[in-house]
Amino acid sequence: MILRLFTLFLFVVVGTSALLADEPAMVSSPNGEISVTVSADSDRLYYEVSYKGKPVLAPSRLGFRLSEADGFDDGLSITGAAETSGDETWTLPWGERETVRNHFNELKVTVTEQKGPKRYLNVIFRVFDDGLGFRYDVPADSGFGKIGITDEITEFAFAEEARVWWMPARWWNRYEYVYNETQLHQVPMAHTPITMRRDDGLHISVHEAALTNYSGMSLEKSHATTFKANLAPGPDGVKVRQEGAFVTPWRTIQIAEAATGLLNSNLILNLNEPNKLGDVSWVQPGKYVGIWWGMHLGVESWGSGPIHGATTENTKRYIDFAAKYGFDGVLVEGWNEGWDGDWFHNGDVFNFTKPYPDYDFDELGQYARERGVRIIGHHETSGSVTNYENQMADSFALFAKNGIAQVKTGYVAHAGDIKRLDEDGNAVYEWHDGQFMSQHHERVLIEAAKHKISINAHEPIKDTGLRRTYPNWLAREGARGQEYNAWGSPGNPPSHTAVLPYTRMLSGPMDFTPGIFDLLFEEAQPNDRVRTTLAKQLSLYVVIYSPIQMAADLPENYEARLDAFQFIRDVPTDWSESIALNGEIGEYVTFARKAKGSEDWFLGSLTNEEARTLSVKLDFLTPGQAYKAEIYRDGPDADWDTNPYAMVIESRKVTAADALDLPLAPGGGMAVRFTPAK
Ligand code: NOJ
Ligand code: CA
């Protein structure tokens, strides 16, 4: 694969002005619709944001409080402002689309203390047509030196009430909650992305981009509809430690009139640094199956014993299945020693180079290779990160020798229970989204890249678009995935996957693991089930973007429904274009995506508990070209609750001039493949 990086790059310095102290500075988006004003009022620093002249954020404070030094939040003056703009088109090695336009106006505001040591920093605002990002930039000669940030003062004073979709932050289950839908003033503290819709229809989503060497930001209510940044603390309460020059992650605010405007935005990727890894042709998107769902259903085990899943024989069965049906990978969990006993709490005993005796590591590597399939490695750490860091280089080397090019990592531990040994060997505990973990994940990516290995992290730190910088960060979990349907009692509600696109998915790809065909599994887990129709399971392959998609069910359940399975076999995971065609948060969504290197288009649409018939124009197809549409839709009487398997599979001729009806059952969905007709 040829890596095309910058196809066009243009940076224009528009103007640098030595402002009179405290004169407000202003910048607008290229289309002029979004404006940001930065001002110092009563010696405090504020920014405000408007859209088409209407306030989005009322004046909101900026600044820091520090340990062992005065804060940088009072007695401040604006001492400089410089405006630049950029317009470039860059290429993704894999993704929802091939090229991305990065078009913005930037304002760099210099802020200086009036008294004392006259420390200074810059706040950089980048304003796009689809929102903005801003970050603090602390230069080497800023006078800060070595600091501990005890509080980032950054505020988000939302100008209006709104309906908001959010999940609690700093709770034990990390990012794995069903989203709440409330009024904005009812949110106590939330993870990002947090997404809202105002009464005037404006959609706003707050998140961050390029979270490296810093703590994750949550939004905490301070009063009414005003929120402030709340950073995950380190073990001593200090939130971030820095020395010398540094930048914070970008605080991002996506703004769109339609809900789909959020889905079609590239803001977060645009605010990340370009690929640092050079040639990444070894990073391969694809589809996989694996020894996985059986453990969640309780019919197989990770640990050794009579129902051990990762045996040589069982793995061969999966490799054969993958080879027969055209899958790239076979995930094998429970291959290594350490799972016996209470693996949730025994992370220190995981060994990442020692297979169980009934798992023949070398033989299976060869067996897979001969059949054109790759084994996907697995590293469950149970949150014992020092134990993992001590072994990861050896394990990646062992994997690479065996043809393994992808590793799923896992950090099953309560949030705040990441175990690290300090310099003296004492155990200290970190948050999954704290500064230490942001550094840890980067260390894993860099080490993995040395071995041409890509990473899919479960129980990760949230995604902030770092896949642009490290394209070997293929996917992550970081939300309630399919697994909750096996043991979540009652699992994910039908609306869950209608909320995810507008919240979690704004941050990046998710390893949701779709494709459960036996929706009731009455023998294995009689109290649980999947609360979707069968057609909706297919729609997830298009709706929930990931460059790696699992066919998560057991092979026998696919062989029992080869007609529906055909869609999973056909659907790609790498796209040249993606378009959100329609949608409302928590209700429904429809995506069309074009397969990379092909003229095929795919469509996925899903709904919450409500039945509805949507209609979409097929004008994304090439005009004048006839297409065969292979449609997988809910049957007329389908219902996730009472009749989940009712599905119609049909074929039709269509063109770009047609509209297509999407009849969705309660908890239902639809999947379509369009191929040019001869
Ligand atoms: C939780 C992950 O989400 C799941 O996919 C995995 O099977 C288990 N941890 C064990 O690592
Ligand atoms: Ca998980």
Question: Does the beta carbon of 133 lie inside 6 Å of ligand 1?
Answer: no
Distances (CA, A) of 263 to 96, 203, 297, 542, 616: 11, 11, 33, 13, 17
> Is 141 buried (19+), middle (13-18) or exposed (0-12) by CB count in 10 A?
exposed
Question: Does the beta carbon of 176 lie inside 6 Å of ligand 1?
Answer: no
Nearest to 496 by CA among 509, 508, 481: 481
DSSP 556-618: HHHHTTHHHHHHHHH--S-EEEEEEEEEETTTEEEEEEEETTSS-EEEEEEESSS-EEEEEE-
* Separation of CA 496 and ligand 2 centre (Å): 16
* CB neighbour burial string for 426-450, b if at least 16 within 10 angstroms, e if fewer: eeebbbbbbbbbbebbbebbebbbe
Question: Does the beta carbon of 412 lie inside 6 Å of ligand 1?
Answer: yes
Domain 496-678 has CATH 3.40.50.2020: no
- The phi, psi pair for 49, rounded to 5°, reads -130, 135
What are the helix and strand counts (H, E) for the chain? 12, 40
Give me the pLDDT at residue 112, please: 97
Give yes or no for a contact between 37 and 125, defined as CB atoms under 8 angstroms apart. Answer: no
Distance between CA atoms of residues 185 and 187, nearest Å: 6
DSSP 631-671: EEEE-TT-BTTTBTT-EEEEEEEE-TT-EEEEEE-TT-EEE
DSSP 463: P
Distances (CA, A) of 75 to 124, 142, 161: 20, 16, 31
Catalytic residue chosen out of the listed positions 483, 522, 556, 587 = 483
pTM, two decimal places: 0.97
198-251 pLDDT, tens per residue?
999 999 999 999 999 999 999 999 999 999 999 999 999 999 999 999 999 999
In this structure, the number of other CB atoms found within 10 A of the CB of residue 224 comes to 11
For the chain, the residue count is: 678
Distance between CA atoms of residues 662 and 590, nearest Å: 9
164-185 pLDDT, tens per residue?
999 999 999 999 999 999 999 9
State the number of CA atoms in the 13 A half-sphere of 337 facing the CB.
Answer: 9
Nearest to 628 by CA among 590, 662, 592, 601: 601
Distances (CA, A) of 366 to 69, 155, 283, 284, 455: 59, 56, 21, 20, 22
Give yes or no for a contact between 529 and 489, defined as CB atoms under 8 angstroms apart. Answer: no
Question: Does the beta carbon of 648 lie inside 6 Å of ligand 1?
Answer: no
Return the CATH architecture of domain 277-478: Alpha-Beta Barrel (3.20)
Give, in degrees to the nearest 5, the angle at Cα 248 between 246 and 250. Answer: 140
Question: Does the beta carbon of 130 lie inside 6 Å of ligand 1?
Answer: no
Give me the pLDDT at residue 12, please: 44
Q: Name the residue with the closest Cα to ligand 1, atom 2.
A: 458
- Structure tokens, 174: 């990390």
Residue given tokens 């939330």 in the structure block: 190
* Separation of CA 457 and ligand 2 centre (Å): 9
- Structure tokens, 97: 């689309």
Atom of ligand 1 at shortest distance to CA of 459?
3
Give yes or no for a contact between 297 and 521, defined as CB atoms under 8 angstroms apart. Answer: yes
Give yes or no for a contact between 157 and 60, defined as CB atoms under 8 angstroms apart. Answer: yes
pLDDT along the chain (678 residues), means of 10: 38 48 89 98 94 98 96 96 98 98 98 94 98 98 97 98 98 98 98 98 99 98 98 98 98 98 98 98 98 98 98 98 98 98 94 98 98 98 98 98 98 98 97 98 98 98 98 98 95 98 98 98 96 99 98 98 98 98 98 98 99 98 98 98 98 98 99 96
Give me the pLDDT at residue 20, please: 54
Nearest to 510 by CA among 539, 538, 482: 482
* Separation of CA 415 and ligand 2 centre (Å): 12
Q: Name the residue with the closest Cα to ligand 1, atom 11.
A: 380
DSSP 150: E
* Separation of CA 504 and ligand 2 centre (Å): 14
- What does the H/E/C string look like for 346-395? CHHHCCCCCECCCCCHHHHHHHHHHCCCEEEEEEECCCEHHHHHHHHHHH
Question: Does the beta carbon of 299 lie inside 6 Å of ligand 1?
Answer: no
Active site residue 483: yes
Q: Do domains 277-478 and 496-678 have the same CATH topology?
A: yes
Atom of ligand 1 at shortest distance to CA of 477?
3
- What does the H/E/C string look like for 209-273? ECCCCCCCEEEEEEECCEEEEEECCCCCCCCEEEECCEECCEEEEEEECCHHHHHCCCHHHHCCC
- Structure tokens, 618: 């097929």
* Separation of CA 488 and ligand 1 centre (Å): 13
Nearest to 281 by CA among 90, 396, 449, 466: 449
Q: Name the residue with the closest Cα to ligand 1, atom 3.
A: 458
Pocket residue to mutate for ligand 1, from 289, 346, 412, most atoms within 8 A of Cβ: 412
- Structure tokens, 492: 């994910």
Give yes or no for a contact between 56 and 62, defined as CB atoms under 8 angstroms apart. Answer: no
* Separation of CA 630 and ligand 2 centre (Å): 33
Question: Does the beta carbon of 480 lie inside 6 Å of ligand 1?
Answer: no
> Is 371 buried (19+), middle (13-18) or exposed (0-12) by CB count in 10 A?
middle
For ligand 2, a single-atom ion, the residues with CB < 5 A are 458
Distance between CA atoms of residues 206 and 195, nearest Å: 7
- Closest ligand to Cα 350: 1
- Give the domain 2-270 fold: Beta-galactosidase; Chain A, domain 5 (2.70.98)
Distance between CA atoms of residues 629 and 510, nearest Å: 27
Residue given tokens 């790696």 in the structure block: 548
Question: Does the beta carbon of 477 lie inside 6 Å of ligand 1?
Answer: yes
Question: Does the beta carbon of 511 lie inside 6 Å of ligand 1?
Answer: no
Pocket residue to mutate for ligand 1, from 332, 336, 378, 380, most atoms within 8 A of Cβ: 380
* Separation of CA 341 and ligand 2 centre (Å): 19
Q: What are the structural domain ranges in the chain?
A: 2-270, 277-478, 496-678
- Helix, strand, coil share of the chain (percent; to 5): 15, 40, 45
Atom of ligand 1 at shortest distance to CA of 481?
3
Give me the pLDDT at residue 11, please: 44
Question: Does the beta carbon of 73 lie inside 6 Å of ligand 1?
Answer: no
Please report the beta strands in 4-67, taking only residues with DSSP state E, as ranges in sequence order: 6-8, 11-17, 25-28, 34-41, 44-51, 54-62, 64-67
Residue given tokens 């860091």 in the structure block: 389
Distance between CA atoms of residues 506 and 262, nearest Å: 7
DSSP 307: T
